[in-house]
Amino acid sequence: MLCKLSIKNIGKSFKDYAIYFFTLILGVSIFYVFNAIESQTIMMNVTASKKNIIDLMTNMLSGVSVFVSCILGFLIIYASRFLIKRRNKEFGIYLTLGMSKQKMSFLLFFETFLIGIISLVIGLGVGIFLSQWMSILVVNLFEADMSSFHFIFSKSACLKTIIYFGIIYLIVMIFNTVMIGKYKLIDLLNARKKSEKIMVKNSFICLLVFVISISLLGYAYYMVTLGVEKTLDTAEKIFIPILLGIISTYGIFWSISGFLLKILSKAKRIYYKGLNCFTIRQISSKINTTVFSMSIICIMLFVTICVLSSSLSIKNSMTENLKTLTPVDIELIKARNLTEERTKKHYRYTFAMIEDSTLSLEETLEKFEINLEENFKDIVIYSIYRTNEVTLKNTLGEYYKEAKEKYLQMNYDTKEDIITISDYNKIANLFHLEPLSLKENEYILIADFDSFIPLREEGLKRNTNITINDKVYTPKYQKCINGFISISSNHINSGVFIVPDNAVDSSLLETETLLANYQKENVEEKIIELENHPYVNKTSLEAGTKKQIYESSVGLGALVTFIGLYLGIIFLISSAAILALKELSESTDNKERFQMLRKLGTEEKQIHKALFNQIAIFFLFPLLLAIIHSVFGIIFSNYILSTFGNDGLLPSIIMTSIFLLIIYGGYFLITYFCSKNILKER
């Protein structure tokens, strides 16, 4: 009998369960989709390096799934509270008719079990369908060959989804049973007649809290923008703006809730227009619990926007960087003139490597039986020189003392990279950069790492001289010239000093580098096979190829994108669902008040408008503050990830806006229409 009643209740209350079902199905399907990536990547034809990144990504997604399951578990428990609250009167009638709390708990237990089974089945079905489309996204991000594509069902992802959600539903069942056990009959029957106790707040205190909160928030914004260098001095300081942001967010909502009603009530044209006075009173009647939930939702939306925007922009920026930062096929780097001082700092150098460092790069390649002319074309070999006379401390000049206080973690004794003007112009010709010229007593500083350039230019503005072999050189320009001398996936050149050819000699030579394109198609395979050559452990020769950099960048970009999408979508669903459920709960509580409006002769159109405005205010307030937070959060993220560039920022912001519009806007519309149905019930 109880089982039949449970099935009947689910069918009868389907409108109440609609948003609950929608959230559960969405959560299950997304959980399956991201955990099924491992099975989908098996049929992709990828290289070994991409395969390693895919393995790393699937392991990280598994770890993230534990965190996601905790979020979804909290969300489902929160949703269950709404459903129980919606049916308080129904449960009160059951108790009045003589049903015991044990039977009522079993009734709710069975209903939750049925809902869980239905949502799991439908969610897995939707997830299996969406995962096939995800396969296409995976292939595009990893730029893999998928000629052997076929329908894939991931048994491991399905089993993981069933286990994780089974545990969540079991916890929800226990939670519901405990809740029912605590209820009293009088509370169940009169639950809808109760209003939250309105605590009248002192206007002066609210204004003071508002000013303090805005000030704290402004300082937090300063710490992650103009004062970002000091903020990043130590790892602990990064938590200060985060903590200030959380406190100020709560303070803003708390203070606004105190004086907004008074301000609007004095604006008579707004307050008495239509049903505005009713809407404002409706909002104020539940203001205490709203403050906390609004703050949580605002922070979750902020995290969502930052995570989605940053992760998507990294992928776009890295793709753009590859086009300009890898202009040749291969780069070979070899340490030269290894000394006792250098071997103490770098214990990886062996005696055999020290002996090999006396050989030129070309001579070392002969040891590997690699002929330059036969295998490479467009060959450029250049040397990097270093001296104790040219360190970061010396190149900053008068700015050093100020820099030391501002950038505490910097190693100012680091020796700078020096290259001759003739070598640089050969690189510039190969990389399609502008050639440079120098007088006998001048130097030029090139760099492309945006975060480091301001520090460099402080030294140049002060006309800081450098000394090499007792000769003084002055800067030709008071700013850095954009440029780089090695292939890479990101802008990592923090500074290279270009000097006249006669400024350095072989005693200062520390590394020798070869840049070239392949003469034949199979050269890449030859370079990879060098790892198995007997001489490989006797030399410090290191190889970096365009293909390796490209694959690593593509893989890293895909990894960041998937984890960002996973967390961003889950946070977005959670924040929107919490708001939606809270508003549906409010509509249930306020049903009799809206009925009173009908009895007073208010038109349905006006009632619907008032309801729409009320829900819109609750959805827009946290979103607006979250967007403001996100502007500064994205600026900070870009500073941290500046080596990746920000070429893809606008497209990522547009994509994030689309996600917000579809998911957050979708929940808003569902909430509005469900609330209308609740208020229409007689």
Lowest mean pLDDT among 24-33, 471-480, 500-509: 24-33
Q: Which residue has the tokens 């776009």?
A: 316
Could you tell me what percent of the chain has a pLDDT over 70?
76
Residue 580, CA distances (Å) to 199, 280, 587 in order: 25, 19, 11
Give the β-pairing of 417-420 and 496-499. Answer: parallel
- For 187-198, the pLDDT digits (tens) are 555 555 554 455
pLDDT at 660 > cutoff 70? yes
Token couple for 127: 């997830």
If one compares 350 and 5, the residue with the highest pLDDT of the two is 350
**Do 33 and 131 form a contact (C-beta atoms < 8 A)?**
yes
**Closest Cα partner for 615 from 664, 659, 660, 675?**
675
Mean of pLDDT values over 100-115: 71
Q: What is the DSSP letter of 419?
A: E
Reading phi first (left if > 0) and then psi (alpha if -120 to 50, else beta), residue 369 is in left
C-alpha closest to that of 588 among 195, 86, 92, 9: 86
Higher pLDDT, 220 or 86: 220
Angle value at C-alpha 635, between 402 and 296, nearest 5 degrees: 120
pLDDT tier for residue 259 given thresholds of 50, 70 and 90: low
Per-residue confidence band for 427, with pLDDT thresholds at 50, 70 and 90: very high
pLDDT for 152 beyond 70:
yes
pLDDT bracket for residue 9 (50, 70, 90): low
Residue 221: left if φ>0, alpha if ψ -120 to 50, beta else—which one?
A: alpha
pLDDT at 116: 76
Average pLDDT, stretch 606-624? 84
Which pLDDT belongs to residue 420? Answer: 95
**Rounded to an integer, what distance in angstroms lies between the CA atom of residue 555 and that of residue 679?**
51
- Spatial distance between the Cα atoms of 40 and 61, rounded to a whole number of angstroms: 14
- Give yes or no for residue 636 having a pLDDT over 90: no
The arithmetic mean of pLDDT across residues 534-541, rounded, is 86
Q: Which of 10, 5, 23 shows the shortest CA–CA distance to 114?
A: 10
Cα→Cα distances 464→50, 398, 414, 482, 656, Å: 46, 8, 17, 19, 45
- Please report how many Cα atoms fall inside a 13 Å half-sphere around the Cα of residue 444, on the Cβ side: 21
Higher-confidence position of 511 and 20: 511
| 8 Å CB contact between 566 and 64 | yes
- Least confident stretch, 10-14, 54-58, 108-112, 491-495: 10-14
pLDDT, tens only, 269-319: 666 666 666 666 666 666 656 777 788 888 889 988 888 887 777 766 766
| pLDDT tens-digit readout, 350-394 | 788 888 888 888 888 888 888 888 889 999 999 999 998 999 999
- The chain-wide mean pLDDT, for the chain, equals 79
State the pLDDT at residue 402. Answer: 85
- Which pLDDT value is given to residue 653? 81
> In this predicted structure, what is the pLDDT of residue 465?
92
Rounded CA-CA distance 107/1 in Å is: 10
- In the chain, helix, strand, coil percent, each to 5? 70, 10, 20
Which pLDDT tens digit goes with each residue over 579-614?
A: 887 777 777 777 777 777 777 777 778 877 878 888
- pLDDT for residue 244 is more than 60: yes
**What percent of the chain shows pLDDT beyond 90?**
15
What is the pLDDT at residue 237? 76
**Amino acid 8: pLDDT:** 60
In this structure, the number of other CB atoms found within 10 A of the CB of residue 268 comes to 10
Residue 510 belongs to what H/E stretch?
Answer: strand 509-518
Given this model, what pLDDT does residue 381 score?
93
Q: Is pLDDT at 446 greater than 90 in this prediction?
A: yes
Answer yes or no: are the C-beta atoms of 364 and 543 closer than 8 Å. no
Residue 8 has which token pair? 């009947």
Most confident range (mean pLDDT) of 95-109, 304-318, 338-352, 623-637 is 623-637
In this predicted structure, which of 3-7, 66-70, 99-103, 303-307 has the lowest mean pLDDT? 3-7
Considering the entire predicted model, what is its pTM? Answer: 0.73
User: How many Cα neighbours within 13 Å face the side chain of 644?
Assistant: 23
Q: Are 144 and 45 in contact (CB under 8 A)?
A: yes
The pLDDT, as a whole number, for residue 425 is: 95
Q: Supply the angle between the helices 14-35 and 546-589 in degrees, to the nearest 10.
A: 170
Q: With contact defined as beta carbons under 8 Å apart, do 326 and 494 qualify?
A: no
pLDDT, tens digit, 9 for 90 and up, residues 503-527: 999 888 999 999 999 988 788 888 8
Q: Is the pLDDT of residue 416 over 70?
A: yes
Whether residue 295 contacts residue 213, with contact meaning beta carbons closer than 8 Å, is answered with no
